[in-house]
């Protein structure tokens, strides 16, 4: 069962790479979707480069979200920081509920077109899952374990770094995984403000009424999201194989 | 030696511990016993400053515990809690090595100490070092907790209901092991429990607490024969006090010399380490007046009569 799942993933990865590196191979598949001799495969840019740029934008935004969300999560679970919990929660929830399209529209006048407004939108959008999972992870460390850590003579910092964060890590990683996956999809919106990414293919399809473009942009993005989700899940399992099973 | 001077802890208007003073001798096993909410755990946690006292002070070997930061103080004091609190993401060996690592011992010394302790607690290092806490039984987890607390050779070991999560049979074994450990390492142990039987079984001295106050602090037999007030009397169980007294003396300690004729052939045989309570029970069961006491090699070393046991059950 597990073996079959791995094979399926490898097949997915192979398919994605083949499509990004040699898209013309797939032309016969997409040809029935075009009308009036329009090109069946996106021809206004290199698909591989677009996918890389797409991934880079998402990863950069996610790195920023992780740093801020984990830092906030640590702050609000310390004895002195509890009063910041409602405020922090309001800020990250606002980041999630405020539509990314609106963030883009507001950010462009401030930072101009390109990657920057997309990074801001994705950064805000990705905060919530990481923050909430960090808070839950740190809060659910068993009380006896924390008591023992202090009783052994760990300073607050040592306790955080060597006991609390390692125990919370599975949940934090899960938060990062959710954030990554939703942002792979959301990042397609960046192409409306001239950020490089797979959204470009979809938008080109919409403008020229070419369903084949829309479909290949969507499929490539979706496949990338699924594969990334699995990759982070595998990493989680590796890291957590030894940690709390009880 | 631990000197506790009018130690008080207040939470708002509630007083958890009320001006407790006591002296705990070096190399002794002192048990603090009380009902829940009596302040016994708070008192214990003020010794290693997991709880900061409102007033009063604690001296360990003459040194005020306030003279250094709390976390460095705690590295010199062993601490065992109910439900062990082992780090689930670390192996048994890593758990035991916690305090030596904090104290930056050399790796070779840490490894040697870890193996010594695991062996002393009947956990074969080759078998258990690399296991994770969830792979152990409750009794084994508890022993790893004790090993971890003893790792940096602390002079003082604090134990908060250490056997509370164990079932009765394992608990008795764990209590015996603790007495062995104490003999072997000469650690000063302060143990908190709500179980008066455990207190009598383990304590060289027993402190009885109620509502934050220390009611009586003395040798167990004094608690039974001369309870300071009605609460202590109720706790030590006045209906059972003769039996309790018997349980505090071993057959070896009370043995009479062997009769010249070598004793009766069919007399029940009991170990010198058994308590008089156990000997009496055995005699009642067997309908015998006399028992032969044997040492750990099985050699007869004395005898005990019902009359002699009964005499021990009266306050002297």
- Give domain status of residue A27, yes or no: no
Residue A119 lies in a domain: yes
* A243 touches B at CB < 8 Å: yes
Burial A214-243, CB ≥16 within 10 A → b, else e: bbbbbbbbebbbbbbebebeeebeeebeeb
Quote the pLDDT of residue A241: 64
Asked whether the beta carbons of residue B74 and residue A150 sit closer than 8 angstroms, the reply is yes
Q: What is the pLDDT of residue A25?
A: 85
Question: Residue B36 has what pLDDT?
Answer: 86
CATH number of the structural domain spanning residue A212:
1.10.3720.10
**Is residue A139 assigned to a domain?**
yes
B82: contact with A, CB 8 A cutoff: yes
Mean pLDDT of B99-128: 93
- Per-residue pLDDT reduced to its tens digit, B2-20: 999 999 999 999 999 999 9
Task: Give a yes or no: residue A177 inside a domain.
Answer: yes
Give the residue carrying structure tokens 């003279």: B67
- The Cα B43–Cα A149 span in angstroms is 19
Nearest to B71 among A153, A167, A242 (CB): A153
Question: Per the domain annotation, does A2 fall within a domain?
Answer: no
pLDDT tens digits, B141-159: 999 999 999 999 999 999 9
What is the tens place of the pLDDT at every residue in B216-272? Answer: 999 998 988 888 888 898 888 767 788 888 888 888 888 888 876 655 667 888 888
Q: List the domain range (segments joined by +) for residue A150.
A: 45-189+197-245
Residues B23 and B30: their CA atoms lie apart, in Å, by 10
Which residue stretches of B203-256 are H helix?
220-225, 230-236, 241-247, 251-254
Query: What would the mean pLDDT of B260-289 be, rounded to a whole number?
Result: 82
Instruction: Give me the pLDDT at residue A209, please.
Output: 87
pLDDT for residue A246: 39
Q: How many Cα atoms within 13 Å fall on the side-chain side of residue B57?
A: 8
Q: Which of A204-218, B100-114, B268-282 has the highest mean pLDDT?
A: B100-114
Question: How far is residue B46's CA from residue B40's CA, in Å, rounded to a whole number?
Answer: 10
Cα gap B227→B206, rounded to integer Å: 12
User: Residue B15 is inside which H or E element, if any?
Assistant: strand B14-24
Q: Do A152 and B73 touch (CB under 8 A)?
A: no
| Tens of pLDDT, residues A140-155 | 999 999 999 999 999 9
Look at residue B37 in the predicted model and tell me its pLDDT: 87
Q: Residues of B with CB below 8 A from A146's CB?
A: 85
A82 touches chain B (CB under 8 A): no
Which pLDDT score, from 0 to 100, does residue A242 have? 52
Cβ-based contacts of B95 with chain A (< 8 Å): none
CB atoms within 10 A of CB B155: 17
- A84 part of a folded domain: yes
User: Helix or strand or coil: residue A167?
Assistant: helix
* pTM over 0.90, yes/no: no
Identify all chain A residues contacting B83, using CB atoms and an 8 Å cutoff. Answer: 144
Of chain B, the percentage scoring pLDDT greater than 70 comes to 97
Instruction: Write down the ipTM of this complex.
Output: 0.82
The two tokens of residue A136 are: 């839950």
* Burial A34-49, CB ≥16 within 10 A → b, else e: beeebebbbeeeebee
In whole angstroms, give the CA distance from residue B281 to residue B265: 20
- DSSP per residue, B87-114: -TTS-HHHHHTHHHHHTT--HHHHHHHH
Question: What residues in chain A have per-residue pLDDT under 50?
Answer: 244-246
Q: Does the beta carbon of B84 lie under 8 angstroms from any beta carbon of chain A?
A: yes
Angle between helices A85-97 and A115-125 (to 10 degrees): 130
The answer as to whether A11 is a domain residue is: no
Query: What is d(CA B250, CA B201) in angstroms, rounded to the nearest whole number?
Result: 11
Domains of chain A: total: 1
Region of residue A227 (phi > 0: left; psi between -120 and 50: alpha; otherwise: beta): alpha
- Residue of B45, B81, B87 to mutate, interface with A, max A Cβ within 10 Å: B87
In a domain, A18, yes or no: no
- Break chain A down into helix, strand, coil percent, rounded to 5: 85, 0, 15
Indicate yes or no: CB of B71 within 8 angstroms of CB of A155. Answer: yes
Q: For residue A134, what pLDDT is reported?
A: 96
């Amino acid at each position: 069962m597990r073996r079959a799942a791995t094979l399926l993933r490898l097949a997915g990865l192979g398919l994605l790479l083949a499509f990004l590196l040699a898209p013309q191979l797939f032309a016969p598949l997409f040809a029935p979707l075009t009308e009036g001799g329009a090109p069946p495969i996106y021809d206004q840019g290199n698909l591989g480069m677009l996918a890389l740029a797409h991934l880079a934008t998402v990863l950069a935004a996610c790195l920023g979200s992780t740093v801020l969300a984990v830092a906030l999560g640590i702050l609000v679970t310390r004895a002195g920081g509890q009063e910041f919990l409602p405020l922090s929660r309001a800020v990250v929830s606002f980041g999630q509920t405020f539509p990314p399209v609106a963030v883009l529209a507001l950010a462009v006048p401030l930072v101009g077109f390109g990657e920057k407004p997309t990074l801001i939108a994705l950064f805000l959008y990705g905060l919530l899952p990481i923050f909430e999972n960090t808070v839950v992870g740190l809060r659910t460390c068993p009380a006896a374990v924390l008591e023992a850590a202090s009783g052994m003579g760990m300073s607050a910092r040592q306790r955080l770094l060597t006991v609390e964060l390692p125990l919370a890590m599975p949940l934090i990683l899960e938060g990062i995984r959710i954030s990554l996956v939703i942002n792979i999809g959301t990042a397609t919106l960046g192409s409306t403000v001239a950020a490089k990414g797979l959204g470009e293919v979809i938008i080109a399809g919409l403008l020229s009424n070419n369903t084949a473009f829309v479909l290949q942009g969507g499929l490539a993005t979706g496949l990338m999201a699924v594969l990334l989700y699995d990759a982070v899940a595998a990493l989680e399992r590796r890291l957590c194989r030894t940690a709390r099973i009880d | 030696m631990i000197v506790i001077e009018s130690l008080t802890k207040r939470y708002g208007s509630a007083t958890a511990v009320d001006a407790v003073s006591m002296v705990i001798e070096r190399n002794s096993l002192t048990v603090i016993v009380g009902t829940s909410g009596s302040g016994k755990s708070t008192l214990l946690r003020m010794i290693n400053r997991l709880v900061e006292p409102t007033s009063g002070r604690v001296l360990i070997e003459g040194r005020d515990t306030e003279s250094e930061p709390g976390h460095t103080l705690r590295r010199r004091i062993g601490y065992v809690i109910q439900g062990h609190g082992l780090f689930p993401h670390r192996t048994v060996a890593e758990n035991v090595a916690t305090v030596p690592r904090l104290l930056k011992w050399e790796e070779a010394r840490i490894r040697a100490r870890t193996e010594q302790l695991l062996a002393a607690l009947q956990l074969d290092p080759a078998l258990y070092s690399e296991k994770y806490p969830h792979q152990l039984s409750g009794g084994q987890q508890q022993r790893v907790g004790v090993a971890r607390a003893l790792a940096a050779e602390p002079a003082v070991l604090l134990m908060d209901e250490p056997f509370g999560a164990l079932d009765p049979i394992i608990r008795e074994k764990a209590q015996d092991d603790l007495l062995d450990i104490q003999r072997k390492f000469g650690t000063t142990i302060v143990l908190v429990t709500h179980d008066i039987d455990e207190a009598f079984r383990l304590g060289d001295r027993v402190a009885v607490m109620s509502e934050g106050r220390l009611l009586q602090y003395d040798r167990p037999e004094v608690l039974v024969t001369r309870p300071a007030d009605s609460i202590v009397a109720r706790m030590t169980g006045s209906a059972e006090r003769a039996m309790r007294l018997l349980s505090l003396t071993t057959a070896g300690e009370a043995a009479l010399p062997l009769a010249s004729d070598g004793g009766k052939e069919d007399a029940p045989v009991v170990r010198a380490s058994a308590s008089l309570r156990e000997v009496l029970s055995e005699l009642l069961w067997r309908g015998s007046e006399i028992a032969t006491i044997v040492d750990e090699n099985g050699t007869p070393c004395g005898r005990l009569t019902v009359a002699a046991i009964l005499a021990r059950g009266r306050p002297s």
